[in-house]
Amino acid sequence: MANSNISVNELTQRISYHLQFLQGDTVAARTDANSVFESDHNAYWQATSLAINDVIISKLQTTRARQLQSGVRSVNYLSLEYLMGRMLSNNLHNLDLYDVVEKALQPFGVELADLCEQGADLALGNGGLGRLAACFLDSLATLDYPATGYGIHYQHGLFKQSFKNCRQVEKPDLWREFGSPWEICRPESAKLVPLYGHVEHQTEEDGTVKSLWYPGVTFKGIPWDIAIVGYNSNTVNVLRLWEGKALKPFDWDLFNRGDYLSAHHNNVYAESVSKVLYPNDEHDAGKELRFIQQYFFCACSIQDIIARHQATHGVDWQAFAKDTVIQLNDTHPTIAILELQRILLDDYQMSWDDAWALCQSVFAYTNHTLLPEALEKWSTKLFERVLPRHLEILYHINEDFLNKQVNVKWPHDFQMRAKLSIIEEGAERMVRMAHLCVVTAHKVNGVAEIHSKLVKSDLFPEFNALWPDKLTNVTNGITPRRWLKACNPKLSALISQHISQDWPKDLASLTQLSDMANDTGFQQAFMAIKRENKVVLAKDILELTGVTVSPDAIFDVQIKRLHEYKRQHLNFLHILALYNRLLENPDLPIHPRVFIFGAKAAPGYHLAKEIIYAINKVAEKINNDTTIQDKLKVVFLPNYRVTLAEKIIPAADVSEQISTAGKEASGTGNMKLALNGAITIGTLDGANIEIAEEVGDDNIFIFGNTVEEVKAIRANGYNPFEFYEKNEELRKILDWLDSDFFTPGHPHELSALKHSVLDGGDPYLALADFESYVESQQALDLAYKDKARWAKMAILNTALMGKFNSDRSIRDYVENIWHLKPCD
Ligand code: 26W
């Protein structure tokens, strides 16, 4: 177990070796402690990463051998997104090699902490769903479960964000422009992916009709493997990412005829399939390329799952069903269902019923959102053109479902048929991907108690009536290795001084800290670390925004994708209210506060971008207003990503989790912030509800309308103007947005926001929750002024987050859905 048995000396030698042979000798030649240049850090980072990779790869091989030998059941996690962040620090912590490598670098005069700041984030995801996938991989390896993650090897990850004149500017993310030390290409496991073409039907001698698909194009999928290292475990699993290539990358005939550009046209076309991550979350882009991306990914992954199984078991579908579970991370990989059914029918001549039973037994589906605009639909026209055989299969599945299930439960109920059908009839016929998932999967789960309850009661009530045991809950979690041990080393050290060192594997043991929540000495130590972390973040803030902030102010943090339902604009309205009060009374006795935002807006989401602009404009004004005595600062940190989260979270005092009740499926930033001792101000939404249950009402600030109240407000016809007219302060700050107060010489520049919460109908009920939010913020301000009380709250938040370990989530999946056994 634990430490990978490699000595400091040996590591020094390996680093030196990689430096010489892979970097050339320019850097290696300067190996005396006084001549390390900033620019050398990248070379040292690469060499150190490669040295560590040697250790990881040998562990990977032993893991594989062990898993093959014991032939145990394994899970295949299919996700279009993985937000891995940086790998070096995390891998070192998980291998228990951090201190060893620190020493191994001494002869070079290089600080490991500096190297951990090198390298791009692996930002192959948008937000919560992608980061959840990354946490789950960490937990699966930590708990020694056999698991393979499948994804896409995007050439461009999530765009880089900067601000120009306060507006978001997007730039491409070239995370592996010069290669990445963490991945291994496996061309020997390439897969072929047929697309387009037509289907012909052939009647066999026994009268059965056989479908023959003649594809129009074939792509190739090349796998790149990234090793996933468990924490203090014997397991290194694999994340396999597919890259698109042409079958015939270069056309020599065309080339020889002088058509140099067309000669590699095929490759440009095929490579476009893994070119870029779609930057929309919660909004279906409906683009053909995205559809092909999904199919490409599913086809490669399903073939790979089958090939890996057959390599040891031959063609044995019973064994396959016993050994295999495929988890669909939202509906994005749904076509995997049709692909497996197609392969079983067409390539292995299995009977329909046997093939379908097999599909039902292997697939499970996780729903991550209730937002209607995020529920994927693809037109049958597009399906027909790109995947004609799959559409045929889909119709068959739907027919069987409607006739054998719906019609039996609700005879001759045509409304019910229309409602549950996988096909939505309308001007354009659409395939409802979530319906196909629910019809197929043996288990469907939501990601927090309330969310799963709403999946049952509001999203799929009829499916729940049809199959009462199918819909279930697995509350999300986060890995405490990255989100406490690695990102907050000082707090981790303090914790390890007081309780067993096992806490990163056994987060529930943090409850022991509760006993010390009232201990003045411990409170001081805990809050001193928080302050040190704030000093570090204050430096980063200055560097990133040019704004000086005091580490003695409250650091109030909202970090997540920019969305109306997440209500960054509610936070913004509170800031305006505070500013207004300060202008009216500069001696207002509030504790100084720094409002910290981090958020990317989808490039096509206009209002989200207007909200960023408004926050930046208001920040400009407030940060330069000397009359308010530095009581208020507002900073919007550019390019929010995993790496930035790792810096912000340890320094946060307040965690803003203020979505409209019923809209945030779970949230996971809420868990990370609370684990690091930030106090949540939040609505009763998603996992906030479970966080409140764990920490107790005294240690969280809950405000706003509940799910039930939100429903009632809507049912009675919500009128935001009532709040605007009733609340003078609200009226004043909204009217500010029409003036040129924040945009001198340019009135109305911030009006879009006002318009959306008034004439636009305030779809996310910001005005309905405003008053209660402001009151809750006042209570929070009071609490902060009582140092001992705040320290106690912060300690209890850290102490009581045990439930939100992603190891617990994984155990829930294993017990209720996957039924795996550890292989250690
Ligand atoms: C079709 C476009 C699209 C893309 C991404 C639709 C929906 C998505 C995701 C489902 C968005 C997402 O990341 N959802 C988040 O998932 C997290 C992990 O379960 C939850 O914690 C968040 O509440 C949820 O918004």
Instruction: Dump pLDDT digits (tens) for 790-823.
Output: 999 999 999 999 999 999 999 999 999 999 999 9
pLDDT tens-digit readout, 512-546: 999 999 999 999 999 999 999 999 999 999 999 99
Give the chain's mean pLDDT. 95
* Tokens found for residue 574: 């509170």
Mean pLDDT of 67-96: 95
CA 717/CA 802 separation, integer angstroms = 41
130 Cα: distance to centroid of ligand 1 (angstroms) = 8
**Is 732 designated active site?**
no
Task: Give the residue carrying structure tokens 């003036």.
Answer: 739
Strands (E), 413-546: 423-424, 430-432, 443-446, 471-473
Do residues 22 and 50 make contact, with C-beta atoms less than 8 angstroms apart? yes
Q: How far is CA 27 from CA 8, 693, 821, in A?
A: 21, 55, 47
Would the CB of 81 count as within 6 Å of ligand 1? no
Could you say which of 176, 245, 470, 566 is catalytic? Answer: 566
465 Cα: distance to centroid of ligand 1 (angstroms) = 26
Could you say which of 368, 389, 574, 641 is catalytic? Answer: 368
**Is 265 designated active site?**
no
* Tokens found for residue 787: 């140092």
Give the nearest ligand 1 atom to 81 CA. 5
Would the CB of 339 count as within 6 Å of ligand 1? no
Tell me which of 124, 129, 366, 565 to substitute to probe ligand 1's pocket, judged by most ligand atoms within 8 Å of the beta carbon: 129
**One-letter amino acid for residue 799 of the chain:** A
The answer, yes or no, to whether residue 602 has pLDDT greater than 60, is yes
Q: What pLDDT does residue 1 have?
A: 41
Tell me which of 368, 450, 566 to substitute to probe ligand 1's pocket, judged by most ligand atoms within 8 Å of the beta carbon: 368
Buried b (16+ CB within 10 A) or exposed e, 390-422: bbbbbeebbeebbeeebeeebeeeeebbeebbb
Give the nearest ligand 1 atom to 668 CA. 21
Could you say which of 561, 567, 569, 631 is catalytic? Answer: 561
pLDDT tens-digit readout, 609-656: 999 999 999 999 999 999 998 999 999 999 999 999 999 999 999 999
**Is 726 designated active site?**
no
Would the CB of 434 count as within 6 Å of ligand 1? no
365 Cα: distance to centroid of ligand 1 (angstroms) = 13
The answer, yes or no, to whether residue 561 has pLDDT greater than 90, is yes
Q: How far is CA 662 from CA 450, 665, 667, 772, in A?
A: 8, 7, 12, 17
Mean pLDDT of 214-238: 97
**404 CB contacts (<8 Å, ≥6 apart)?**
none
Would the CB of 78 count as within 6 Å of ligand 1? no
Would the CB of 282 count as within 6 Å of ligand 1? yes
82 Cα: distance to centroid of ligand 1 (angstroms) = 12
DSSP 487: T
CA 448/CA 689 separation, integer angstroms = 9
Would the CB of 280 count as within 6 Å of ligand 1? yes
Task: Give the residue carrying structure tokens 């295949």.
Answer: 76
CA 420/CA 442 separation, integer angstroms = 17
Task: Give the residue carrying structure tokens 């479902």.
Answer: 401
Sign of the Cα pseudo-torsion (576, 581, 585, 588, in order):
negative
Give me the residues paired with residue 590 across strands.
Answer: none
Give the nearest ligand 1 atom to 686 CA. 23
CA 144/CA 223 separation, integer angstroms = 23
The answer, yes or no, to whether residue 24 has pLDDT greater than 70, is no
CA 390/CA 196 separation, integer angstroms = 11
Among protein residues, the one with the nearest Cα to ligand 1's atom 5 is 281
CA 683/CA 702 separation, integer angstroms = 6
Could you say which of 48, 324, 369, 668 is catalytic? Answer: 668
**Is 368 designated active site?**
yes
DSSP-derived 3-state class of residue 130? helix
Mean pLDDT of 481-496: 98
CA 546/CA 69 separation, integer angstroms = 58
Would the CB of 685 count as within 6 Å of ligand 1? no
Give the nearest ligand 1 atom to 127 CA. 13
Task: Give the residue carrying structure tokens 């960490």.
Answer: 138
Q: What pLDDT does residue 33 have?
A: 52
Residue of 674, 650, 325 whose CA lies nearest to 478: 674
**258 CB contacts (<8 Å, ≥6 apart)?**
none
The answer, yes or no, to whether residue 31 has pLDDT greater than 60, is no
CA 578/CA 594 separation, integer angstroms = 12
Mean pLDDT of 572-595: 98
pLDDT tens-digit readout, 721-751: 999 999 999 999 999 999 999 999 999 999 9
Tell me which of 330, 373, 478 to substitute to probe ligand 1's pocket, judged by most ligand atoms within 8 Å of the beta carbon: 330
Residue of 669, 637, 638, 636 whose CA lies nearest to 654: 669
Would the CB of 132 count as within 6 Å of ligand 1? yes
**653 CB contacts (<8 Å, ≥6 apart)?**
530, 534, 554, 555, 556, 557, 678, 679, 784, 790, 794
CA 442/CA 438 separation, integer angstroms = 8
Q: What is the 3-state secondary structure (H, E, C) of 265-284?
A: HHHHHHHHHHCECCCCCCCC
Mean pLDDT of 416-421: 98
**788 CB contacts (<8 Å, ≥6 apart)?**
520, 523
**779 CB contacts (<8 Å, ≥6 apart)?**
701
Buried b (16+ CB within 10 A) or exposed e, 372-389: eebbbbbbbebbebbbbb
**One-letter amino acid for residue 810 of the chain:** I
514 Cα: distance to centroid of ligand 1 (angstroms) = 33
DSSP 96: T
**Is 566 designated active site?**
yes
**Is 672 designated active site?**
yes
Among protein residues, the one with the nearest Cα to ligand 1's atom 1 is 284
CA 278/CA 281 separation, integer angstroms = 8
Would the CB of 128 count as within 6 Å of ligand 1? yes
